[in-house]
Structure 1
Amino acid sequence: MKNYRVIFTAITMAACSVSANADPVTTKGGYEYDKNMLSNPAALNWNIEHCSHSGITPEVQEKLSKLMNVTPANVRFEYCRRILTAYAKGAIPYDDYVQFTRSRVLTASIARALRISGSRLVESHRQHHKSSGF
């Protein structure tokens, strides 16, 4: 598979461990570039796959499990799928992205992304994640 640039880092790490005073990880141009890259289904799936293996604290995992109405074992995959799909569709504006990465403020667009399912991946990817237990 092609070596796609990993896009998920900023949003994923914001939920887990970014300092409240940290600068945004990307510029507006970088944000637009990443959004455009994620419009490629292969790049989106690749980034979801890699994002779903990132670390998350048990406390954050439990909170996200309740917010997203998924089992704790599926939190990482569903979080990544929902956030990255919303990002690719332009449902998370740049200003919300910056606010979330800087201060972990759950903006309305990010809350909607986490509650609303995006497009589904190939069934084999979902089954792999369900059986892996993270």
Structure 2
Amino acid sequence: MYIFIGALAAALFATVSLKGLHFFNFINWHPVSFLKKFESFDWSAFERWVILFLIIAVFTLLLMLIAQALFRLPPFSFSLILGLAIAMLIEWRILDLPLEWASLKKLSIPFIILIVTVMRFIVETARYMRMQTFR
């Protein structure tokens, strides 16, 4: 039960932070723009953000379950490596960047920090839940 609450908290923090990053122009793309592909639905802005929240919640729940299974790895390095990889893959996919060293300059550092912070929360929460469950 508590793992669902942790996943919802991480998803809420990530969604609100993405809204803040977009509002203050720290990222050059809109976080809910992928929903424009589905033209058959006429969603309001709030509904788009709720759908993004639900997608992030499911993703964080899966990451928490994976992190619980890999509890022997050091949480700092695991969250740092996984967070960097996820953030870079997301931005490379969204911005459609070529695989060159010059593309690294176009990545948003606040977005990378946000993803690494959320990953740290997910991994530490999963580790705590694992230790509390099996002690």
How high is the TM-score relative to the length of structure 2?
0.32
Higher RCO structure (Cα 8 Å, ≥6 apart) = 2
Which structure has more helix as a fraction of its residues? 2
Flag the structure with larger Rg: 2
TM-score scaled to structure 1, two decimals?
A: 0.33
